[in-house]
Amino acid sequence: MPPRSKVDLLPDGVRAELERRLIQGGFSGYRGLSDWLAEQGFEISKSSLHSWGQDFEDRLGALKKVTEQARIIVAENPDDDGSVNDALIRLVQEKAYGALMDMEIDPEKIDLPKLMRVIADLSRASISQKRLMAEVRKRDSEKLDAAVAAGEIDAGAAARARRIMGFE
């Protein structure tokens, strides 16, 4: 396993500022960034920064592409029942589990609290989504009951609507 990049070892605030400067500078000016880091007390060559910057640019580009694809998918296929979100949560959980299983985890190098926080956040998101969907189903079911009571539709039509919407 190759050693970690010096950039990855930077304090979070310094790395965040470096990322901001990279994006703002159009992923150029590595000599200036190396000089800036030296002023902050970190000696990282411009070639090391360039190598790390290329990887960062690739990751950022992939994230933008996925985000745009997700926007298009949602625009074309509204996710009223939360199924896309549920699938995304499951996919992230599966990928995280697979990554953990594939990694040779050194307990000294893993930030276990951060990992557990990610897992907890995913679980909360899944629970929140399921709770919201239950509330939507209850509200829609109450609307059907009110329509039957008002004589707008008959009980058979309400039962069919519940089956179609997956309430039963």
Same-domain pairing of 47 and 130: no
Same domain, yes or no: 67 and 124: no
How far is it, in rounded angstroms, from Cα 86 to Cα 26? 35
Return the pLDDT at 50: 94
45 lies in the same domain as 95: no
Asked whether the CA dihedral 145, 147, 148, 154 is positive or negative, the reply is negative
Length of the chain: 168
CA diameter of the chain: 77
Which pLDDT score is estimated for 154? 92
Q: How far is CA 15 from CA 44, 54, 146, in A?
A: 12, 15, 57
Residue 133 pLDDT: 83
Please give the residue range of the domain that contains residue 168: 80-168
Residues 23 and 48 in one domain: yes
Q: What is the pLDDT of residue 94?
A: 72
- Considering the domain architecture, whether residues 102 and 164 belong to the same structural domain is answered as yes
Domain finish residue from 48, 78, 108: 78
Do 142 and 130 have their domain in common? Answer: yes
**Model pLDDT, residue 112:** 66
Closest CA to 49 of 63, 59, 37: 37
Distance between CA 105 and CA 108 in Å, rounded? 9
Question: In the prediction, which pLDDT does 78 show?
Answer: 62
For residues 87 and 163, state if they share a domain: yes
User: Does 92 lie in the same domain as 15?
Assistant: no
Domain final residue pick, 33, 57, 78: 78
Give the chain's domain count. Answer: 2
Identify the pLDDT of residue 63: 77
Position 146 scores a pLDDT of 93
State how far the Cα of 15 lies from the Cα of 4, in Å rounded to an integer: 14
Which of the listed residues 78, 93, 125 is the one where a domain comes to its end?
Answer: 78
The answer to whether residues 109 and 127 belong to one domain is yes
SS3 153: coil
Are 73 and 88 in the same domain?
no
How high is the pLDDT of residue 35? 95
pLDDT in tens, the chain (168 residues): 567 788 888 888 898 899 999 999 999 999 999 999 999 999 999 999 999 999 889 888 887 887 777 777 666 766 556 666 667 767 776 776 666 666 565 556 667 677 778 777 877 887 888 888 888 888 988 999 999 999 999 999 888 988 888 777
Quick one: 99 and 30 in the same domain? Answer: no
**Tally of CB atoms within 10 A around 7:** 21
92 and 60 together in one domain = no
Q: How far is CA 162 from CA 36, 84, 111, 139, 148, in A?
A: 63, 21, 47, 12, 13
